[in-house]
Structure 1
Amino acid sequence: MKKVSLAILVSLSAVTGAAYAQEGGVTMSTDPAKAADVEQRAQDLQNRQQAMPSAPAMPEKHHKMSPHHHKKADASSS
């Protein structure tokens, strides 16, 4: 019974996700103001992406190599 309930829940989640994804689909507009806004956003995004690789990366921290295992005390003393 639990497997059937789980299968139904997963199926409903998938259907809900597919329906939600289709809400914000591609739309077409002939409004010049909207077109200009979209082009400006695309240009801003492209400029940001081009600026990211040239930005200085975070300096990597170099750790001194330390032994991971400590030497055990003489085994005969136990």
Structure 2
Amino acid sequence: MERIPDEKFIEAFEARSSDDAAIVMGTGEIADYVDCTRQAAHRRLEELDEKDKIRKWEISERSVAWQYPANRRLRRAE
């Protein structure tokens, strides 16, 4: 099976936003967008976190969220 490019994972975030605010998504949402399993998406998102392209937020012991871009502050909901 061919490896899904990093850009496809970043595209999942960009497709969800029309402004400069940071975007936070769950693994399942991203897996659906790139058409892969949650496990495969999680492994690739971990790699992108290590490359500082995205940021991992640990919500609980078994739950994480992913932020893109990694260096942008989150904006408060209005």
Greater fraction of residues in helix: 1
Same-fold call, TM cutoff 0.5 = no
Length-normalised TM-score, structure 2: 0.22
Which has the greater radius of gyration? 1
Of structures 1 and 2, the one scoring higher in RCO (CA 8 A, sep 6+) is 2
Greater fraction of residues in strand: 2
Length-normalised TM-score, structure 1: 0.22
